[in-house]
Structure 1
Amino acid sequence: MASILSWMLAVAALTRAAPSRLVKRLDNGLGLTPPMGWDSYNHYSCSPNQSIIESNAKAMVDFGLADLGYHYVVTDCGWTVPERTANGTLTWNATLFPGGFPAMGEYIHDLGLGFGVYSDAGVQMCMTGLPNQTGSLYHEQTDADTFAAWGADLLKYDNCYSSQAHGYPDADYNPVVSPQPRFETMRDALNATGREILYQICEWGVDFPSAWAPALGNSWRITNDIIPDWRTVFRQLNQFVPSAGDAAPGRWPDLDMLEVGNDIFTEPEEQTHFSLWAIAKSPLVLGGALNDTLTTIKQSSLSILSNEDVIGYNQDSLGKAANLTRRYTDAGLDVWAGPLSGGRTVAALLNWNNETVTGTLNLPDVGLQSAGTAKDVWNNTTATNVVTSYVAPIAAHGLLLLELGDTTPAGTYPAERCGRTHSQGVTFSRVYGLTDSAAYTLSIRTEGGDGGEEIMVTSSASGKATKAKVSDGSATVAITLSAGSNNTITLQTASRVSFIKVAPPRGTFYPSTAFAVSGTAAHYNCTPGLCAPVGSKITDVTQNGGASISVPQNSSPGSSRYVEITYINNDVALSTSWTTGTNSRNITVAVNGATPARLEVPLSGRSSELFSPMNGWGDPATLGMLVHGFGSGGDGEDMVVVSNANGDAGVQPYGADFVGLRII
């Protein structure tokens, strides 16, 4: 893992958890942007019928959703019968679908939409508590030919009743062999039909499909099922983080279907849900009832699903997913961001709190310092010349969603946009400090003036003036900044200043091997090549066991330092998805006995939790937070303690494994 070498690396901490390692994708020319459509499961479960499918398909057209790109109409589980026909093919339940699937597909096609079907890579489909319905295992080519003959444009392929070694249970989260070969068999069968059929793999994130599914399908589920509860959003997003770098045209990690319109979430929650799925480049598959004999979608939900800006971010031609860039666990806030075509950036500040907060999106958290334009999507406003931060109220469980254009990279301050000229020179305000430090590097670029000119530089954090000598239009000097965005830098010069650049110190990395363990915590030597950059880690970090180290004291009492933590978490919530599972673990850092700072980290595992060396528990990631209390220790040293203090006892008894930390 790279560490913070420049200002922008303050942002990239979590995206480094999902490095791009693109493998050959399924090259069928489909899904070059994330698929969009509607699926019957979230609202109707495994009880669809012809009237439901056709009325919702028509609503997609009537409500303008088809014109916005929602294209596929998928009949999920519950459409077939327990046995195959005499000639060995699947058939529809004639009571529920009296017109038959070919005719229903024709109806959908006549609306200008795509016809999606559902099957399963097991001996039965996912129909717990309902009459068994035969799956496609061992009948892949027959079923692929059948779907093609019906005019299918999409196949959603599930993973129930598929593990022979365990007696074909409904769901097997610990299969003896990988699901990969079964999904590969269906891919080959679909290819053999000669029909273009978009292929959606649905194996719930078992065996880390992002490592192998891109070569098989156009999208692949990286999480267990979404559930009708707000807590599901946190769980899904935490599992997505390691897969973000795998998104690209034709290949999309799938966060599962949308619950917008199902009267489960508040309006701000629906905005958050829809926005995060969109910028993560997940397929946008509607899961609510649009229109049937009992239900019509609310106008507020329809407006959310129809937001052309948000849809545009999902369908952006660059095809790069946003990812978590900073998590303020103690404040209950997440920052997510990703690149868009045209040099734009989409950024989101998510409020996990149960109350409205005044949210501050620090642009350096998303790799930027200023933006010529900032489109506030859900507040429907646009600001110009935004420097360092953007502030707006955020409703409980809502988010601030910004499209940032005409931007400068983090740490770069053009004088024209960020400075104020005066008789003695120029003053830059709203200068951002990642950490309290006297070791920032300030670079100054001037126009005109004589070589050898001396610029007097004053930082508000120190109040002291320092001389910087100009050579060939440039000058460099060390300055002091405080953590936050309230710093001011004043340059006394007769020359015109074009811009300044500010870079934080590199800091010092302390490996886990340098820490003393206590209580339950223990050192663990990893498989060679894993647990980088140390090759080992500290495990069993709990509220009764942690790790400590004394570091040189080089700051004033009570200073705050940015601490970048290299951690490992592969506590995948599969069997616990419907209860307490979050796909996260806590880690805390306390300095000199001060109140611990807490970070709830997402998954870092980027390899199989079943079959890879260390089962994904050797895959590190980094994420940073500001920690208070430095400079207050005795004997010229600060005591740093890594633990799981203030974690959720009983839910997350074990903290994330610890590889090392960098103190900036």
Structure 2
Amino acid sequence: MFPFLSLLASTALASPSLHSRLQDGLARTPQMGWNTYNAYGCNPNQSIVHSNSEALIATGLADLGYRYVTIDCGWSVEDRLPDGTLTWNETLFPQGLPALGRYLHERGLLFGAYGDSGILLCGSPPNQTGSLYYEEIDAKTFAEWEVDSLKYDNCYSDAATNYPNVNYSPSTSPHPRFTTMSQALQSQSRPILFQICEWGIDFPALWAPSLGHSWRIGNDIIPHWRSIFRTLNQAAPQTNFARAGQWPDLDMLLVGLEGVLTRAEEETHFSMWGVLKSPLVIGAGISGMGKGSLKVLKNEDVIGFNQDGLGVSAMLRRRWSLDDDGVEVWSGPLEGGRVVAAMVNWQGVEREVRLDLPDVGVQYAGGLRNIWRNESEVGVRTSYTARVAAHGTMLVELADTLPAGVYPTGIFGSTHGDSTTFSSIYAVTSSNGYNLDIILAELPRTSQKITITTSTNKTPISISIPARSSSVTLPVALTAGSNNTITINHAPRISSIHLTPPKTTYYTGTKDFTLAGTTATESCGSDTDTDTQNEFCAPAGSKLTHLSPNGTATAQIPSTISGSKYISIDYINNEVAFDSSWGWGSNSRNLTITVNGGEPVRLEVPLSGRHSELFGPGLGWWDSSRLGVLTGGWREGGNEVMIGNVGGEGGFQAYAPDVVGIEVFD
């Protein structure tokens, strides 16, 4: 793990699931294809499928991997045949679904069908029969039709509440119904990719990998820009469940749907689905799609990131408030030691944004490619700046990298006489406690005194290098940012310097803070599931709740330096947007941090829950995650740090996330 990466990453503090995973050789990389639903709703027909399939081939999309062609809701009828098997709507599909499968296979495409774990398909009425209680016969039928994949939905499925169309709070988990169909599919001689679509009701990341090849993480994507933010907030706590054969499904792509997204928004949408290893399923009509949208969908770099053999998803590293800087950074590793990083500009204006490479675990990149600007740079030190369109994304591939905190003299140093100055030094926080390791290129024959100054502390620090030593270590002061310098005088020839962040102090919400107003405390339960190895409300086992515009928590925190301090916040948020997802539900909550009565710094945190909000321990409200924020106004000596949700009454949710504690660099 890169030094800074472990400190800055937004990580669910629980371990990833160790439950069994389906291993049948399918979906070794996320599946790619086209689905009828976004463009045609529950009204597909044979002509629509034929024309769009031909367009997949003619546009070259099929050659790039978009091969699964899925007929979504609307293909079936209410009644089964006398022998109990499924049949199709003959008006819409006069040649029948088996013939449609042959048509696709003859063109090198794959046949995707749609079913439902309830008594009816989604999109009824007019009623179309579902697979509940008919799983074995339907799996056999799909295999006989030479189906290659099955998207399996969750409508009309809760018997205890009289089979409503949609139930976001079912009486029992959907898990058993999907298990039944999975087992039925596995018993067929034909391999069928299984796409679990229960809308994230029972946190399927914990159980779906043992049953299928992808699982929908949340409610349907809606044709609006705001749904991108909502979906990413739901993806954040489960990125590390992705791996070969099992993929979190962020839902179908909106790219190409006329009048829905700008070109920059389409690039952001496609970038994030790509690097988070979501299946890439086109939802717009291919026939007649604009050239610009086609160009987005055909971007071979993004497809390559999505299909990368490591199969590791990007994760959220940093986020700045939407009403302040309005950017966030995601990154992840790729084959060949490369790193992909995406910096999303949530603001509605074009502007320059700066990616500090240490935020993604890198200090230096021998090569950088800006994917959407089609630009390349060599020898990128510490940070990279580029213009990004409104709602656009800086998507970069970094190669030949050095880990954060490593500064070779040949790259970062400039020597004049007996003085070497290292520039572009990054500091995540202002502190006197950075550890500087000076690595020598040659061993001194005798003890030698050197002096060190930094751009933060210009008073020379003297230290002796013992004879025959290869390195020396001392504390130095740095200021938060990427433009620090370190000058070393009278030293033997230096190979490199290494910097490690200062020590930290942890402040537990229920022990170290004084509460006011609505704020309360809560203890969290113990873990009895040894398979998942969770530590609830980690690392403290308790949390602050009901932080709000009228509820705060305040701690007294010392500092040895004035300026800006980076604070890591262990938060809990499991307010999942189900009904609210059709409107402004964002799967996020805001909190504010105020230092010494100054201007509050706002942070909008994503979901942290890694258990079901219906049936899991603590209903997902015991699962911690971490994000950090840089706060100003610190002074030498004592500081008053207040957590709350200043101005939260004007937001979608007045309550802040629950807070376990904060970690502050000394």
Q: Structure 2 length normalisation: TM-score? A: 0.96
Q: Distance in 2 between matches of 1:251 and 1:468?
A: 54
Q: What is residue 598 of structure 1 aligned with on the other side? A: 602
Structure 1 residue 10, shift from structure 2 partner:
3.2
Q: Answer whether contact 1:326 1:335 (CA < 8 A) is retained.
A: yes
Residues 1:47 and 2:55 aligned together: no
1:97-496 paired onto structure 2 within 5 Å: 97-128=93-124, 130-263=125-258, 264-291=260-287, 296-329=288-321, 330-448=324-442, 449-471=444-466, 472-496=469-493
Q: Answer whether contact 1:334 1:350 (CA < 8 A) is retained.
A: yes
Q: Answer whether contact 1:92 1:101 (CA < 8 A) is retained.
A: yes
Q: What is the letter of the counterpart of residue 626 of structure 2?
A: T
1:534 aligned to 527, 535, 540, which one? 540
How has the CA–CA distance of structure 1 residues 314 and 19 changed in structure 2, closer, same or farther, with 3 Å as cutoff? farther
Structure 1 residue 21, shift from structure 2 partner:
3.0
1:211-253 C-alpha deviation (Å, 9 max, x unpaired) = 1100001000001100000000000000001110000000100
Q: Secondary structure at the match of 2:187?
A: helix
1:628 aligned to 622, 627, 632, which one? 632
Q: What is the letter of the counterpart of residue 476 of structure 1?
A: T
Q: Answer whether contact 2:364 2:401 (CA < 8 A) is retained.
A: yes
1:26 aligned to 4, 19, 22, which one? 22
Structure 1 residue 26, shift from structure 2 partner:
1.1
Q: Distance in 1 between matches of 2:398 and 2:603?
A: 27
Q: Distance in 2 between matches of 1:226 and 1:383?
A: 36
Structure 1 residue 417, shift from structure 2 partner:
1.6
Structure 1 residue 16, shift from structure 2 partner:
4.2
1:59-78 paired onto structure 2 within 5 Å: 59-78=55-74
Q: What is residue 532 of structure 2 aligned with on the other side? A: none
Q: Distance in 2 between matches of 1:140 and 1:582?
A: 35
Structure 1 residue 46, shift from structure 2 partner:
0.5
Q: Secondary structure at the match of 1:259?
A: coil
1:104-161 C-alpha deviation (Å, 9 max, x unpaired) = 1100001101000000000011115x40111000000111111111110000000011
1:483-522 paired onto structure 2 within 5 Å: 483-513=480-510, 514-522=512-520
2:584 aligned to 580, 584, 600, which one? 580
Q: Answer whether contact 1:357 1:395 (CA < 8 A) is retained.
A: yes
Q: Answer whether contact 1:451 1:473 (CA < 8 A) is retained.
A: no
Q: Answer whether contact 2:149 2:195 (CA < 8 A) is retained.
A: yes
Q: Distance in 2 between matches of 1:428 and 1:442?
A: 12
Q: What is the letter of the counterpart of residue 333 of structure 1?
A: V
Structure 1 residue 318, shift from structure 2 partner:
0.2
Q: Distance in 2 between matches of 1:17 and 1:78?
A: 42
Q: Distance in 1 between matches of 2:387 and 2:648?
A: 28
Structure 1 residue 507, shift from structure 2 partner:
1.6
Q: Distance in 2 between matches of 1:452 and 1:335?
A: 45
Structure 1 residue 553, shift from structure 2 partner:
4.1
Q: Distance in 1 between matches of 2:342 and 2:115?
A: 36
Q: Distance in 1 between matches of 2:658 and 2:11?
A: 19
Moved more, 513-522 or 466-475: 466-475
Structure 1 residue 488, shift from structure 2 partner:
0.6
Q: Answer whether contact 1:180 1:212 (CA < 8 A) is retained.
A: yes
Q: Distance in 2 between matches of 1:641 and 1:69?
A: 51
Q: Answer whether contact 1:18 1:243 (CA < 8 A) is retained.
A: no
How has the CA–CA distance of structure 1 residues 451 and 154 changed in structure 2, closer, same or farther, with 3 Å as cutoff? farther
Q: Answer whether contact 2:101 2:145 (CA < 8 A) is retained.
A: yes
How has the CA–CA distance of structure 1 residues 168 and 178 changed in structure 2, closer, same or farther, with 3 Å as cutoff? same
Q: What is residue 640 of structure 1 aligned with on the other side? A: 641
Residues 1:566 and 2:567 aligned together: no
Q: What is the letter of the counterpart of residue 395 of structure 2?
A: L
Structure 1 residue 425, shift from structure 2 partner:
3.1
Structure 1 residue 494, shift from structure 2 partner:
4.7
Q: Secondary structure at the match of 1:193?
A: coil
Q: Secondary structure at the match of 1:60?
A: helix
Q: Answer whether contact 1:10 1:367 (CA < 8 A) is retained.
A: no
Q: Answer whether contact 2:363 2:401 (CA < 8 A) is retained.
A: yes
Alignment gaps of 5+ in structure 1: none
Q: Distance in 1 between matches of 2:448 and 2:373?
A: 48
1:621-649 C-alpha deviation (Å, 9 max, x unpaired) = 111000111117xxx42111000113362
Q: Percent identity?
A: 50
Q: Answer whether contact 1:5 1:506 (CA < 8 A) is retained.
A: no
Q: Distance in 2 between matches of 1:203 and 1:146?
A: 22
Structure 1 residue 552, shift from structure 2 partner:
2.4
Provide the alpha-carbon RMSD of the alignment: 1.4
Q: What is the letter of the counterpart of residue 508 of structure 2?
A: P
Q: Which runs of 4+ in 1 moved over 4 A?
A: 16-19
Q: Distance in 2 between matches of 1:475 and 1:646?
A: 49
Alignment gaps of 5+ in structure 2: 527-534
Q: Answer whether contact 2:2 2:361 (CA < 8 A) is retained.
A: no
Q: What is the letter of the counterpart of residue 548 of structure 2?
A: T
Q: Distance in 1 between matches of 2:140 and 2:238?
A: 32
Q: Answer whether contact 1:18 1:241 (CA < 8 A) is retained.
A: no
Q: Answer whether contact 1:18 1:244 (CA < 8 A) is retained.
A: no
Q: Distance in 1 between matches of 2:623 and 2:12?
A: 11
Structure 1 residue 451, shift from structure 2 partner:
4.4
Q: Secondary structure at the match of 1:257?
A: coil
Q: Secondary structure at the match of 2:506?
A: strand
1:63-115 C-alpha deviation (Å, 9 max, x unpaired) = 10111111100000000011111211111100001110011110000110100
Q: What is the letter of the counterpart of residue 663 of structure 1?
A: V
Structure 1 residue 612, shift from structure 2 partner:
1.6
Q: Answer whether contact 2:449 2:491 (CA < 8 A) is retained.
A: no
Q: Answer whether contact 1:10 1:434 (CA < 8 A) is retained.
A: no
Structure 1 residue 18, shift from structure 2 partner:
7.0
1:514-543 C-alpha deviation (Å, 9 max, x unpaired) = 211111110111113521111110101111
Structure 1 residue 650, shift from structure 2 partner:
4.7
1:166-209 C-alpha deviation (Å, 9 max, x unpaired) = 11111111111111110010001001111110000001111100
